[in-house]
Amino acid sequence: MIKSVCIVGCGWFGLPLAQAMVTQGITVNGSKRSTEKAASLTEYGINGFTLDLSFDEQIEENQLAIEAALNTDCLVVNIPPGLRKDPQGYLVKLARLTRLIRDISYQRIIFISTTGVYPSVEKLMTEKDAVAHSEVSDKLLQAEAMFAGLTNSCIARFAGLVGPKRHPGRFLAGKIDMSQPEAAVNIVHLNDCILAVSELIFEPSAAGIYNVCAPKHPSRQAFYQQASLNLGLVAPQFTQEKSGGKIISSDRLTKELNFEYQFSDPMDMLVAC
């Protein structure tokens, strides 16, 4: 039974996930890169600890405390890739983390990834369709592989994230000549990410890779125009091309684990961001 969780990366997603765990009576250790921010986690009932995977020195100075914080029943790895700024740095950070946890036996490891591993082709994408179609996707798949082989691991691939402070109405507002008006929107609300990862943590049968994406897929034009108008912003204008795009399937999550989305239709997310 999982009674304690360590969340590496208590940011936009990690912090509310940690808060959700606390409300369920779970002991939560959460990391931040600065000591000040780590200390602030205590106000949420989270045992904050400092972990900056960018520097060996910081880890070596606090290795015993870091390893103690990582030693829980479940580990959630939620580190923003930042691949466009530093393509190799992400893998270096994850390698440091894997060294720190190599002697810990977890009941569950959840690695947060992204649907960016799928190419932009007109096709329904299942978990088996990931391919290294770019430098970024190659690094993402390498990152997944570092955790996929660990005992009791699951990988959650998030679609485009929306929620508090990430309203999609701002993404394309006022832009013109936007391409692919009929392409499917692949997004997911923060609340559903929390619910999905919670399911993977506590469901014994969960294993392997799961896409986390709203099951309904309105067109880019319909969705982003409405999203902008909801905020009183200028709606984006699209070209008349007819090409489509990829559709991310979340069938494995919904059918195998009976998962139910709180926001199955992206249009319903617009009032909850």
Structural domain that includes position 128: 4-162+188-213+246-263
Q: What is the pLDDT of residue 218?
A: 97
Question: Pairing state of beta strands 108-114 and 153-158?
Answer: parallel
Tell me the pLDDT tens digit for each residue of 210-245. 999 999 999 999 999 999 999 999 999 999 887 778
Question: How far is the C-alpha of 139 from the C-alpha of 102, rounded, in Å?
Answer: 21
Give 51-71 pLDDT, tens digit per residue: 999 988 889 999 999 999 999
Residue 208 in domain: yes
* Alpha helix segments (H runs only) across the chain: 14-23, 35-40, 56-61, 63-70, 89-101, 135-148, 190-202, 220-230, 251, 266-269
The CATH number linked to 35 is 3.40.50.720
pLDDT for res 241: 83
Structure confidence at residue 154 as a pLDDT band (50, 70, 90): very high
User: What pLDDT does residue 58 have?
Assistant: 86
Q: Is residue 236 part of a domain?
A: no
Measured CA to CA, the distance from residue 247 to residue 217 in angstroms comes to 7
Residue 134 belongs to some domain of the structure:
yes
- pTM of this prediction? 0.96
Question: How does the average pLDDT of the chain come out, rounded?
Answer: 95
How many structural domains are present in the chain? 1
- Residue 172: the pLDDT is 96
Q: 226-259: b or e for each residue (b if 16 or more CB lie within 10 Å)?
A: bbbebeeeebbebeeeeebbbbbbbebbbeeeeb
pLDDT tens sequence across 10-45: 999 999 999 999 999 999 999 999 999 999 999 999
pLDDT of residue 254: 98
Residue 17 lies in a domain: yes
- Which is nearest to 182 in space by CA: 225, 146, 141, 218? 218
- 200 domain residue, yes or no: yes
- The pLDDT tens digits of the residues spanning 172-206 come to 999 999 999 999 999 999 999 999 999 999 999 99
Can you give the pLDDT at residue 10? Answer: 97
Give the type of residue at 256: E
pLDDT at 258 over 90: yes
In a domain, 237, yes or no: no
Q: Indicate whether 268 belongs to any domain.
A: no
Nearest to 28 by CA among 9, 50, 47: 47
Please report whether residue 100 resides in a domain.
yes
Q: pLDDT value at position 85?
A: 76
pLDDT for res 183 = 94
Q: Given pLDDT bands bounded at 50, 70 and 90, which one contains residue 108?
A: very high
pLDDT at residue 244, as a whole number = 77
